[in-house]
Amino acid sequence: MNTNLSRRTLLTSTAGIVAAGSLGNSMTNAEDAKPEAKPPADANWKIERGRINQSVVSWCFNPMPVEELARAAAAMGLKSVELCDPKHWPMLKSLGLTCAIGSTHGFVRGWNHKEHWDYCRERMTSVIEAAAAFGCPSVITFSGMKGDLKGPEGDEIGKRNTVEGLKTILKLAEEKKVTMCLEMLNSRVDVEMKGHPGYQCDTIEWAADVCNRIGSPRVKILFDIYHVQIMQGDVIVRLRQFKDLIGHYHTAGVPGRGELNDSQEINYPAIMKAIIETGYTGFVGQEFIPTYKDKIASLREGVRVCDV
């Protein structure tokens, strides 16, 4: 046997085999083929270290009732159920939970188009006032979709409109001591609630520029680890770079927005340790979409991964 076989020769000789195998796999959706990891067996496990203030996002667990999710979250030591209707907040309080961030105007109609300002301001005013009364520290906000704001010029117009629009509600947020967190979303994945093609604030730099132009501690970034990984990567580098502008974090597995298990690519324990090292004391919300039959087991697994 010729032991000096070149790498190019080896690759050429195996190309047909690889191609034949790839042809059959090319029609398979990678997300559908993803194996389901085994959930932790201990249904009584609860947070042990608690160096991360963990929360769970309610919409991901639909149609599970918010109260059922809240009871499970409290039992495993979470501190919040977020982005749920304020009508549920008294129930959260009764379970020793808070709402880490309040839901407002949605990601389609945002501040980047002036014709949406009245709608955004009405929604933001209502939720900011409710958040202040309850003790919810933050509310979410969005740039909105690009629409006709194309190219570099449209990008700058959208950014300027977002800055000016947020300034119209800034005084209220500052008076009420509620932080408005601008979320960056990925615009690459064309699957409902896994990506948002056409969304304008699709880089951390875009969100950071808005925050810096406003210059208030009541306007910060919602750093969604899932979306950042898809659009830009370098998650740890970026969260360190923009640590002073980050007001909230979200999680999910890449690809697919599923569990934080070993079938996805993000090293969540390392990221959580990096977040702690920045001195961050806010909340990290579990915003993955469960694929396990036992959704609470999915949540427990993700919480356990992030309890570093």
Residue 143 near residue 162, CB atoms below 8 Å: yes
Q: What is the CATH number of domain 48-306?
A: 3.20.20.150
Q: Is the dihedral of CA 49, 242, 139, 249 positive or negative?
A: negative
Biggest distance spanned by C-alpha atoms of the chain: 79
- Per-residue pLDDT tens over the stretch 183-213: 999 999 999 999 999 999 999 999 999 999 9
- Ordered by start, the domain boundaries in the chain are 48-306
* pTM given for the model: 0.88
pLDDT in tens, 123-181: 999 999 999 999 999 999 999 999 999 999 999 999 999 999 999 999 999 999 999 99
Given phi > 0 = left and psi -120 to 50 = alpha, else beta, which region is 129? Answer: alpha
